[in-house]
Amino acid sequence: MSKTAFVFPGQGSQAVGMLSDLASILPTVTDTFEEASEALGFDLWELVQNGPIEELNKTAITQPAVLTASVAIWRVYREQGGRKPDFLAGHSLGEYTALTCAGVFSLADAVSLVHARGNYMQDAVPEGSGSMAAIIGLDDEKVKELCRDVAEGEVVAAVNFNSPGQVVIAGHASAVDRAIAGCKEKGARMGRLLPVSVPCHCSLMQEAAEKLAEKLNSTSMNEPLIPVINNIDVAVENEIEAIKVALIRQLSGPVRWTESIQKLASEGVTNVVECGPGKVLTGLTKRIDNSLVGSAINTAETLESALKA
């Protein structure tokens, strides 16, 4: 039997009004948001449905919103008789969603954790002093080398290896600007700043990682019921302490997404299903390995297709 993996998106997949069609026919969606809202102390569903988008896009709000949306879709899929996948994985924040769906965290603990994570990240770097940029059309090693060459005592590094020829860099805003210019000189097709206020997955997040470690130590965790491939080592960890360490390292270390999808393929996975708002990861799956069948569940129609499949 062919193997299936479910993958969960990170920040950037949020949108005002997301999951409204699913919620109109399946109360599990709003029930899941109610559960999250109770843990957070504010009405997450109201914010997700009506915005404003500026509020939804704040890191500390985006993270619980995307995680809850993805968990809601997962719950609906499983309740409707969807088959348990063989593997789970998530991009950045999505790793927390994967661990939640694997039973490591309760939803209440997960949303509290990523809400705090977002605040730690925002507090670690003064707004405007850090940035991230997408570099397209340049070899990974060349991007890494160029970041080292233009750092000039500041931080800039390749942090998200999303697909061959698509790398995200992060660090001090001025160093990121220099790296964009340098990558274009070296032949990159595109280098553009991303609309984020926090330079994720670089060493500027070290202070946030230390606070996250304290929060994780006070959060209840269980061993996973489904194998989860992590971002930092592209590995499956089953021991709680090892999962914690990987999450702490992930905050200031790179997301190795290309290798994660390749790892799934090497484990015999043929179908990769994106479970969450949007379909960013589905596009990346096709670019990484076009022999894999990639699909997304984010509407009533795509849910029905996934259940038939």
- Which whole-number Å values give the CA distances from 180 to 70, 183, 198, 202, 284, in the listed order? 32, 5, 17, 16, 22
Going 27 to 294 to 89 to 57, the CA torsion angle's sign is: negative
Please give the Cα distance from 278 to 11 (Å, whole number). Answer: 11
Q: What beta strand segments (E) does the chain contain?
A: 3-8, 87-90, 130-136, 156-163, 166-172, 190-193, 228-229, 269-275, 293-297
- Per-residue DSSP letters for 6-63? EEE--TT---TTTTHHHHHH-THHHHHHHHHHHHHTS-HHHHHHH--HHHHTSHHHHH
Helix (H) or strand (E) holding 252: helix 240-252
* Active site amino acids: 92, 201
- Asked if residues 109 and 220 have their Cβ atoms less than 8 Å apart, the reply is yes
